[in-house]
Amino acid sequence: MLSSGSSFWKEAVNSEIDSILSNHMWELVDLHPGNKPLGSKWIFKRKIKADVYGLEIHQMDVKTAFLNGELEEEIYMEQPKGFVAPEKENKLLKRNLSICLTLEGSLVYMTCLPKGNSVVYVEEDNLSNISLVYWIIRLRFLMNSNEEPIKGYDFGVADRNFDGTSLDSPTRYSPSPSNHVRYLSLESFITWLNSSSVASFCLSEIISETSQRWVLRLVLDQSVLRGLFWIANSLVPSWTSCGEVLFFIYYYDYNSPKSYPLLGCTLSLVKNRHHIIQWTTDLLAKSSSSTITLTGLFGQSCILTSNPSNVKHILKTRFNVYQKDSILRRGLIDLLGCGIFLVDGAEWKSQRQLMSHEFRTDTFLQLVESITTKELSTRLLPLFSSAHANAFVLDLQEIFGRFTFDMVCQVAFGYDPHYLLPSLKQNSTPLADAYRTAIKMSMGRCISPPIFWKVKKFFNIGSEKKLSLAVHELRKFIRSRIIEKKEALLTNNSVGVPSAFFDRMLAKSDDHKNKSVFDENFYIDEAINLILGAEDTLCSALVWYFWLVSSNPQVEKEIVREIHQKEDSNNLKEMVYMHASICESMRLYPPVPQESKQAMKDDIWPDGTKVKKGTRVLYNIFAMGRSQKLWGENWADFEPERWLEREDRTGNWRFIPKDPFTYPVFQAGPRTCIGKEIAFMQMKLVATIVLRRFQIVPAVEGYSPVYGSCMTSMMRNGFPVQILQRCQNL
């Protein structure tokens, strides 16, 4: 029990023993003279799902245990080693029930024959972190021996009549007399992978000696998955005539959080709300299939995965089945409108074609590079020089946030908000304030029950009032820029950056075939979507990159060496080691830690997970980058070399890209981020120019930032740094 999962094994055994004692199946007693106790041995084995690995197996059950009647002997057993009751070390376990305890593969189940009138035994569940759930419903009752057997079920000869009188020592293999009664053992195994399926089991028309109709109906869905059973009234009065009615529920895999009727795992979600990404990452790491289900209020479920096969299925194979999550859409619609981030189908395809064409033109790429270089030389570098000269501490996250906001506004519609100043004194701008407030309030919608924010919106109070005002100011400002740009185009006067995104789009106003180009709301929506897609994500990528580089001196040394070796080259694509270090940084800290979709149809994933129509599904990019299955035992190390290999002829590094469904930082499939190459270009520019002149050092030695996530991966308390001038002889 020294394995990585030993704590879960111990928890399972403790739960088993607690349940045995609480149900009075055993009791702790002294050994009676002349008796010898049985020993005990616990065997723990992990089980993999063969279908996940594409294996085809044929399995037969070669063990069947029968235990009819009661044992007359006194049975004593030693307490299992490592699980001895405190202050009762010398006690033994004495049997009170006849038990058949069976462990088959990853399935544990128990048959209990009470020594009394108790006809229902329910295992108490105290476990948590469960994703693989086995339900065993075992029914035992007496049938007339001359009735036609029910095919497919297990029959044995009973040793008692309905009145409890003994029969004449029947055996399983000898025919029973016509006046004897047979013992029907009906076992129904209903298995859910990740508790995501909905199943219905109906057993009817089982006729007893009195021709009574027995009906059992179990409707098991997310609202009853932890033990709510509905049994037809016709069965209840007949319990006393049953030899046994056993409902046994055992939870074996420990991945999903504890769930309760109606509440689901809401309590766990609330408890872990401040580190939800790390929490779900831990759950996924413990799951054999890298897939779990979280059940919310009233049975609403959400399936999370970090399995590349599932991600490929969602983003490519069944792309049309999985569309934008309705919760996210409702939360962001007031801010993002009908922009490219929220639309699906033909509307998304039309917008993507329009925008991807612009993003790939040389003119637009040159525009982005020009603006980035200017912002670096006129604002960021002077600010760093001033901080070095005055030994001031800067919050690098705040600085990069301002830096990227200025850049994206200039790229989008040719307006410079001057959010970052070359002096140490920073200012606030109405545009930036409105945008940040709108983002914060919109994301608040996505993590709270819709009824809460809808009521506030109806009365225009609280966060909804702030959101309304912020969105109004933001859209009002962008609309004024559109009007200004249109007037400039009509008079052939240039305003702001002549080749900004708006300029190029508005220049197509003569193309009457595309109606969307004339809609001001279309421009506003796309501008806000462009800011969202570039500003926060670029800031996140930069701040985590510089922290990782500053924390790994050998990597930093290699990056600086490459910068000086390529100093005469203007081609950023030659920065192979830097490119690998950026990819490695985003593996550990992806700018967008997870993405959500919603199933438009019933579906089955490659790992066997059943997805019902309307189910919300998320793939956790943060968890995928930290998966030992995908990245090996050294997944936690910052190693750009994992992306590189040496060329045989030259000995130079060569970049080896990863499968986009294993590394979906820029999404994958038809919806791959259209700004991917631009993002790499901007990050390389910033890293090259900054690291050539400066060394970024955490203001506190050994500083470890606290990870926080809203829509993007951020440092909860920022990143305080000191700026040092780099020695030129490196």
Encoded tokens for 25: 């199946």
Distance CA 456, CA 444 (A): 12
> Cα–Cα distance between 361 and 359 in angstroms, integer?
6
CA angle, residues 445, 447, 452, in degrees to nearest 5: 55
Rounded CA-CA distance 135/137 in Å is 6
Residues 6+ away with beta carbon under 8 Å from 151: none
> Which residues sit opposite 385 in a β-bridge?
none
One-character DSSP codes across 266-287: HHHHHHTGGGHHHHHHHHHHH-
Q: Alpha-carbon Rg of the chain, whole angstroms? A: 33
Contact indicator for 580, 655 with CB cutoff of 8 Å = yes
- Strand pairing category for 616-620 and 301-305: parallel
Query: What is the token pair recorded at 275?
Result: 């580190």
What residues have CB less than 8 Å from 370, skipping those under 6 apart?
none
What tokens were used for 539?
A: 């800031």
Contact 408, 534 (CB under 8 A): yes
664 and 625 in contact (C-beta within 8 Å)?
no
Burial call 86-118: b when 16+ CB within 10 Å, e when fewer: eeeeebbbbbbbbbeeeeeeeebbbbbbbeeee
DSSP letters of 318-364?
TTTTEEE-HHHHHHHHHHHTT-TTT--HHHHHHHHHHHHHHHTSHHH
CA atoms of 387 and 399, how far apart (whole Å): 12
Structure tokens at 420: 């970052």
DSSP code per residue over 483-550 = HHHHHHHHTT---SSTT-HHHHHHGGGG-TT-GGGG-HHHHHHHHHHHHIIIIIHHHHHHHHHHHHHH
The one-letter code for the residue type at 719 is F
| Count of Cβ atoms closer than 10 Å to residue 167 Cβ | 16
Report the distance separating Cα 651 and Cα 244, nearest Å: 74
Q: Is 242 annotated as a binding residue?
A: no
Q: Are strands 107-113 and 132-144 parallel, antiparallel or unpaired?
A: unpaired
Question: Hey, which residues does 291 pair with through a beta bridge?
Answer: 305
Rounded distance, CA 104 to CA 254, Å? 17
Q: What angle do CA 107, 108, 113 make, to 5 degrees?
A: 140
Residue pointed to by tokens 């919760």 = 327
Binding-site residues for heme: 673
Residues marked as binding? 673
